[in-house]
Amino acid sequence: MAARRPSSGLSNKLLLLSLLLVCNAITFFVSVTFYSSCPLPDPSVVPEHFDSTEYVSPDLPSEFHAFTSGQALPFGFDSHFDSDTIFPPVGNACTRFPEELTEYMSYYVNGSCPEDELLAQKLLLKGCEPLPRRRCRPPAQTEYPEPIPFPTCQWLTPPDNSVVWTAYRCKNYDCLVNRERRQKDITDDCHDCFNLKGRERVRWTARKSHPGSLDFTIDEVLETKKPGTIRIGLDIGGGVATFAVRMRERNITIVTTSMNLNGPFNSFIASRGVIPFYISISQRLPFFDNTLDIVHSMHVLSNWIPTTLLHFLLFDVYRVLRPGGLFWLDHFFCSGDQLAEVYAPLIESIGFVKLKWVTGMKLDKGPERREMYLSTLLEKPLNNSW
């Protein structure tokens, strides 16, 4: 007679009990791991699950490793990241300058940052962009004043105690406003731009330019598009943001990129009630594809930029402009032979449609240098032909 088998009902009960125990164990593990109280991490500890020395030198400061090491996402794999780990970004060139990077990342965690604006800017300009984040508080004036109300702030010099002056030759705005007259050895291109009662006051105010003029007017440029369709944009290397101020008078929002080259440009731009972006010309523009109505740049994009880098940059401008958007390249300069042989073909290779293209001699440093200006208004095609 065959041995009697356990009933199927008892087997099912044992299986269900086993599954219940397993589920309870998993639930307990998840709750302890992810939902317990979360104390602040020890700032001196680099996450153990990721060996950052595989990618960067172990001789770099611990704060650099603490920031750049992969950080596990609290709830595991995320389909948006396509990963269970996030890697905070820093510029590829940062690790090429270990001494400067070590100095920049040496500070008291949760304390005050050193007054090292010049060091930070040098790292940026060398390609350490973006800089690693730090866990310290930046210097600020002890008696910081309330901002001047808008719109008065657009054409009024802010108070001196709105700026930390350590990094600059001038130690107040009076020095900056008058430096063209007082400093004989000044070499800055923007030597008079802090004087809001001088040339800045009349920039882009004309209604119409003369035929063949390099100085296009804002209204002429806007008239190339339907009213109200130029709404947001970018000014690359915009000095003290007078272009953005003039555009705001026309209800157009412009973000201005600028470095602080021997002057507090970003602080000054913000004091005028417009938006500064502290990025170099090497940085990928932080805008999504096909979003901006206009990009403008005056004097900055010129032959001092390596040709390949300029080519990448112009394609980045094309990328962020919406179809039908405008690129206003204002007073690009180079030598005469370079314009015909290098820069005109390079600009034409991007794929813009030419709306205006005017060239003229650049004479401020003497005709013997045979330098040329190019002012051009370009349009991104409405229908992509590629």
Mind listing the pLDDT tens digit for each residue in 215-225? 999 999 999 99
- Predicted local distance difference test score (pLDDT) of residue 324: 97
Does one domain contain both 209 and 354?
yes
Does one domain contain both 224 and 366?
yes
Question: Does a structural domain hold residue 119?
Answer: yes
pLDDT digits (tens, 9 = 90+) for 311-364: 999 999 999 999 999 999 999 999 888 999 999 999 999 999 999 999 998 877
User: Tokens at residue 376, please?
Assistant: 């051009």
Does one domain contain both 117 and 213?
no
Across the range 227-237, mean pLDDT stands at 97
Among 137, 172, 195, identify where a domain stops. 137
Cβ(314)–Cβ(294) under 8 Å?
A: no
Does one domain contain both 133 and 207?
no
Question: Sign of torsion, CA 179 244 126 138?
Answer: positive
Q: Confirm whether pTM is higher than 0.85.
A: no
Among 83, 118, 137, identify where a domain stops. 137
Across the range 3-31, mean pLDDT stands at 52
Range of the domain at 293: 203-237+281-379
> Please, which pLDDT band fits residue 205 given cuts at 50, 70 and 90?
confident
Question: Does a structural domain hold residue 361?
Answer: yes
The count of structural domains within the chain is 2
Question: Does a structural domain hold residue 181?
Answer: no
Classify 58 as helix, strand or coil.
coil
Question: Does a structural domain hold residue 229?
Answer: yes
Question: Does a structural domain hold residue 213?
Answer: yes
Does one domain contain both 213 and 290?
yes
- Quick one: which H or E segment has residue 294? strand 292-298
Does one domain contain both 129 and 215?
no
Question: Does a structural domain hold residue 322?
Answer: yes
> Please, which pLDDT band fits residue 63 given cuts at 50, 70 and 90?
confident
Is the pLDDT reported for residue 365 higher than 80?
Answer: no
- Predicted local distance difference test score (pLDDT) of residue 179: 86
User: Tokens at residue 47, please?
Assistant: 């996450």
Is the pLDDT reported for residue 201 higher than 60?
Answer: yes
Does one domain contain both 216 and 290?
yes
Nearest in space to 119 (alpha carbons), one of 132, 108, 135:
132
pLDDT digits (tens, 9 = 90+) for 65-112: 888 888 888 888 888 878 888 888 788 789 899 999 999 999 999 999
Does one domain contain both 209 and 117?
no
Question: Does a structural domain hold residue 147?
Answer: no
Does one domain contain both 96 and 232?
no
Question: Sign of torsion, CA 292 249 175 268?
Answer: negative
Does one domain contain both 233 and 341?
yes
- Quick one: which H or E segment has residue 268? helix 265-271
Nearest in space to 200 (alpha carbons), one of 238, 235, 228:
238
> Please, which pLDDT band fits residue 271 given cuts at 50, 70 and 90?
very high
pLDDT digits (tens, 9 = 90+) for 140-164: 988 899 999 999 999 999 999 999 9
Does one domain contain both 223 and 307?
yes
Does one domain contain both 222 and 335?
yes
Among 86, 117, 137, identify where a domain stops. 137
Distance CA 327, CA 347 (A): 11
pLDDT digits (tens, 9 = 90+) for 25-58: 554 444 434 433 334 445 445 444 444 444 456 6
CATH of residue 217's domain is 3.40.50.150
Place of tokens 């109200």: 228
